[in-house]
Structure 1
Amino acid sequence: MADIIFVSLGMVVLDEIRFPDGKVLCNVPGGSGLYSTLGARLAAKDATTSERIGCLVLAGSDFPDTVAETLRDWGITLRLQQVADRLSTRGLLQYQGINFKDQVFKYTTTPLQHTTADLADHPRILGSLAFYFLASPQDLEVSVSLLQVLRHHNSVPAQPLLVWEPAPASCRTELRNEHLRAAKLVDVYSPNHTELLAAFQLGNATPTIFDCNIIEDLALQILESGVGPDGQGAVVIRCGEHGSLAVSQSYSARWFPAFYDSTSSKVIDATGAGNSFLGALTVKLVEGAGLTEAVIMGLVAASFSIEQIGLPERAVTDGTETWNGVGVSSRVEEYQAKMKRLIGK
């Protein structure tokens, strides 16, 4: 049986979404665990690869069968555990203003989330070649330490690839040193640009105008402090409509444009885009791709996440898989063509 190549320890959340016009959607699946797994699945080349994507879901007695069926349809290795006396993790997401850019979120049930300790009950998933974390610096350090202990006790060889998206609430200047310390434990450190500024822009107010020079300077400072156990890790800053920045000791800082321009009518809801980006990026890196290929796949995965409320629609016609009617490889080619046009200007 082939090794698992990706596991997310994020949550699956069932959202009630309320719109400014009074419209309400219920049981919309989301959460960092789901969207990062979606990104990993989008990066899968074929059915064999999709089976190597692990997904742990801790669900309550009310978890919808339709959501479980969707995950099984992706062909991933799903471990869904239902807790009979608990409700599933649910949230209320209220959109305000236009274009869904302003939103307020709160949990409406006590969150259910697998921890690193739970991996002991899933030996195959424990042996994954890569893990994605959405965590505070303190929680990340605990998780990585425990992961190492569990893998050692279970004779799991090799060091897994670790990708860390810092929890937004932990991105504060007073935790700057904690971020730098935790970044040394992972292979990829990836806040978005607002989280980066909140955690590292000492003594300055957050700028109202996006400044790529500030973003790049801060990323280089983090890299200089050290990312990864051997200092060879990467900093990837996700900047929404402004694209993404990637840099490592062996990879000069490079900016990548977003798949869609900010004015595109295809952009419906950016929720989960960053998680999807990192799931796809992780899979490409663990497969041996360089940062350029990995970031491109991340941006492509994010593009599928933002075209609708909730998850993109998967279909298979005559053996060909599409998401929202488009093949992933076709979209990669479309993005590469866009980059060539921009470089040619």
Structure 2
Amino acid sequence: MDSLHFSTGPGTQIKFVSLGMVVLDKICFPNGKTLFDVPGGSGLYSTLGARIAATGTTETEEIGSVILAGRDFPASLQGVLRDWGLSLLFKMDPSRLSTRGLLQYKRPNFTGRPDFSLHNPSPPANPADLKGDPNLLRSTAFHFLASPQDLRKFVSSLMSLRAADGVLAQPLMVWEPAPASCTPENRDLQTCAAKLVDVYSPNHTEFLAIFEAPSTTAAAAAAIAPKTLGFDCSAIERHALRLVDRGVGPHGTGVVVIRSGEHGCLVASRSYPARWFPAFYDSNSPKVVDVTGAGNAFLGAFTVMLATAADLTEATITSSVVASLAIEQIGLPRKGISNDKTETWNGIDISSRIDEYRAKLAGVGGPVKGEKFRI
């Protein structure tokens, strides 16, 4: 396997690494139109979120990424990632093809869930992959997409590798449960694994499928959850607060973040009263094109903001804005430079959109002052 390094300088203090997947999607539309090699995957979109959140506040090379790629990985996508100025570790395996997804939309305008299947699947990046770049291994924050069982292995491996490298500091760890593991039979595993990380964040459908769906087999739960578990604000709050009471993180003082799409998100910890934040866009906004990857981008931004500013309100504000940029097009938003040399995404100065979101929060009586995160 060949390793290629870009942007990582000696001694760079990395502030974010995602141990997720990069997937090349084929998207099929009801009218027969098909798009190929559309970048996707939790690892890519969480890295995107961290990179956008870093605009104007963090050196871009402090956002790290490890990419496990096959021989057909597009050079154009590699170029896009290099243009973002990340600290990149590409691990190219010429013996296999890159992981690919197939999304088939049956209704126009992206309404309804698409049929999804994964092809040429490879395991997501894991801590052992970071041994090729000590700077990435020493990151101050990590994002995981994993089942409870895999999370335990990843956390143990990560801490062992860091200790062997002389890094004793505890990193900030954010866990996005793998959707397939969000079933009633995994309730105890989910609750126990949440004690290993600082932030636990499923989306609202996954969360309710774990704690609200009737106890049954995994297959049955997966079949009934999308049909029977709609958006229920009170149920989400009830189960989130119970989980907070049981304790998230090694000291029980971690955070529960329930990402709820057009309904916004719920943030709660023992020191932070449960608060709902609205989505930047209303559900009927014509600016919403494709919500794929928005939740991953939110968490990438949330992770890097929490690691740098330790402020739950500010992290959620920035992350909500970042998620809005991920859904304005199919695929990745465009990075650019304005006439006054300010970095833009989709032609937007992120600081101006953050101001717009603050105004929206004030209009609905939401929180506008920060609250420090304590673990």
CA separation in 2, counterparts of 1:64 and 1:343?
46
Distance 1:208 1:109, change over 3 A: closer
Query: Is it true that 1:148 corresponds to 2:170 in the alignment?
Result: no
- Compute the displacement of 1:114 (Å): 2.2
Tell me the equivalent position of 2:82: 72
Q: Which residue of 1 aligns with 2:326?
A: 305
2:241 is matched with 220
Q: Which moved more, 1:93-102 or 1:72-81?
A: 93-102
Structure 1 outlier segments of 4+, above 6 Å: none
Partner of 1:24: 34
Deviation at 1:320, TM superposition (A): 1.1
Decide whether the 8 Å contact of 2:208 with 2:229 is kept in 1: no
Residue 106 in structure 1 maps to residue 114 in structure 2: no
Question: What is the match of residue 176 of structure 2?
Answer: 165
Shift of 1:323: 0.6
Q: 1:14 matched to which residue of 2?
A: 24
Which one of 346, 352, 373 corresponds to residue 324 of structure 1? 346
How far apart in 1 are the matches of 2:332 and 2:269? 32
Give deviations 1:274-306, integer Å, cap 9, x for gaps.
000000000110002311111111111110111
- Please give the alpha-carbon distance, in whole angstroms, between the structure 2 residues aligned to 1:96 and 1:218: 33
In the TM superposition, what is the alpha-carbon distance from 1:105 to its structure 2 partner?
1.1
Distance across 1 between alignment mates of 2:171 and 2:58: 20
Unpaired runs of at least 5, structure 2: 1-10, 216-223, 367-375
1:211-254 per-residue CA deviation (whole Å, 9 max, x = no partner) reads 21110001011111110001110000000011100000000000
Correspondence for 1:94: 104
Q: Is the 8 A contact 1:88 1:112 kept in 2?
A: no
Whether the aligned pair in 1 keeps the contact of 2:64 and 2:136 (CA below 8 Å) is: yes
Worse-superposed segment, 195-204 or 128-137: 195-204
Q: CA deviation at 1:325?
A: 0.7
Compute the displacement of 1:45 (Å). Answer: 3.4
Which residue does 1:193 correspond to in 2? 204
CA contact (8 A) 1:7 1:132 kept: yes
In the alignment of these two chains, the number of paired residues is 344
Percent pairwise identity: 57
Map 1:195-274; keep pairs closer than 5 Å.
Answer: 195-201=206-212, 203=214, 207=228, 209-274=230-295
RMSD of aligned alpha carbons: 1.5
Contiguous gaps of at least 5 residues in structure 1:
none
Tell me the CA shift for residue 208 of structure 1. 5.2
TM-score (norm 2): 0.89
